[in-house]
Amino acid sequence: MPYYVQRGTIPPKHFTVLPRPGGRYFEELYNSVGFNGPASNLYRLHQPTRVAGVEPISRSIVEPWDEGVIRNHMVDPRQLKASGDVLNARVPIAFNNDLVYSTVTPDTASDRFVRNGGKDELYVVAEGTGVVQTIFGDIEYGPLDFVYIPRGTTWRLIPGPTPQRMALLETSTQIGPLAKYRNTVGQFLSQAVYAERDFRVPELNEPVDERGVFEVAVKVGDVVTKYVYETNPLDVVGWDGALYPYALNMRDVEPFSGRVNLNPDIDGVFESRGVLVAAITPARFPDHPNAIPNIPDHNTDCDEIFYRIASEGAQFPGLGTVTIHTRAGGHGAKPGLDRPEPGLRSELWGVILDCVEPVQLTTDAIAGDDPHYARAWL
């Protein structure tokens, strides 16, 4: 995780009583990697283990699309329709054992909370603003934000009035900043593409001491279960630690640029087992007199998912689409592009995922798939 944070009221030492008039607050250890990873301690008005009821809701099954060939794909998420809260409005596009990649278009601020008990979640905001309301506090979000939600976090999305469009990465193992950007004590190096001060951590509000019926939709694997609580989950009076939700805007990422074109992995911002997340941001073009116009054509032992989010200038080919390039066929930039003048900068915002395990598309992706893309140049 990025670094240690403290919010609200906590006792001088963890695992000791934090008194309150007529009793004490309840401490909850929120940890990862079997007590050996990043952790936080939360202090609450009520015991979080008091469950009033458990009921089935649904199954969230990701169905593989087997068309009998392995080829490159271009999927337009705008053709994939879903609505509702942040849980119901997701459409899975591609997956492997390490990752489920979805498009999310929430249009409802649901009263219920959600919790992914099996996977970390990383949202990439393409359109819309709103608030991520968590037990750790609130995070405001907007276009070009990465919003990280660790597994086990109880939260809900309060979308703003404008249309919402996001990409969602659900990772089987913990996702976080690249290890190569940090020193031996975890501090970000000066040559990292961002630093601690670029993260936006939750702002803790006054605890909500409210009784009633409060639903949390808990997702583990493909099973979604309704947990019912008699007290509002937003009852935290304080917390501290290094495991919590946060946001990072792509405008705060400082891209690398060289005299020649560099491979996309140089733009890495997050990593998980088998997945590298790279942020494509406007950067200076190469200025070597013999530099080729774009990155070299390449055939690597990974599959690539590329979301072209926005452009600051001229219309970029395929803007708004997601391409899935297989290791079975080489790929690269569209040929015939004019050589950019030295000193000018690119205009594209996007996110590239390099996936070690082969990626398979879902049947949900069929509605947005361009069947001619495998023979096209983009």
The CA-atom distances, in angstroms, between 127 and each of 18, 124, 283, 320, 364 are 42, 9, 22, 11, 21
Q: Tell me what the mean pLDDT of segment 267-276 comes to.
A: 95
Q: Tell me what the mean pLDDT of segment 316-341 comes to.
A: 74
Element of type H or E holding 91: strand 90-95
Residue 290 within any structural domain of the chain: yes
Q: Among residues 350, 362, 285, which one has the least CA distance to residue 320?
A: 350
Residue 195 within any structural domain of the chain: no
Q: How many domains does the chain have?
A: 1
- pLDDT for position 340: 53
The CA-atom distances, in angstroms, between 263 and each of 61, 140, 233 are 35, 32, 44
pLDDT 10s digits, 219-252: 999 999 999 999 999 999 999 999 999 999 999 9
Residue 207 within any structural domain of the chain: no
CATH code, domain carrying 340: 2.60.120
- pLDDT for position 341: 54
Would the pLDDT of 263 be above 80? no
Residue 353 within any structural domain of the chain: yes
Structural domain of residue 267, as residue ranges? 251-375
Residue 276 within any structural domain of the chain: yes
- pLDDT for position 1: 60
pLDDT-derived band at 376, boundaries 50, 70, 90:
low
CA 284 – CA 345 distance, rounded (Å): 4
Please measure the distance between the N-terminal and C-terminal CA atoms of the chain and give it in whole angstroms.
Answer: 36
Residue 1 within any structural domain of the chain: no
Q: Among residues 169, 204, 253, 175, which one has the least CA distance to residue 5?
A: 204
Residue 294 within any structural domain of the chain: yes
Residue 327 within any structural domain of the chain: yes
pLDDT 10s digits, 113-153: 999 999 999 999 999 999 999 999 999 999 999 999 999 99
CA 8 – CA 136 distance, rounded (Å): 10
Average the pLDDT over each of 27-36, 113-122, 194-203, 293-302 and give the range with the smallest value.
293-302
Q: Among residues 268, 309, 81, which one has the least CA distance to residue 179?
A: 268
pLDDT-derived band at 59, boundaries 50, 70, 90:
confident
Would the pLDDT of 28 be above 60? yes
| Helix/strand/coil for 164 | coil
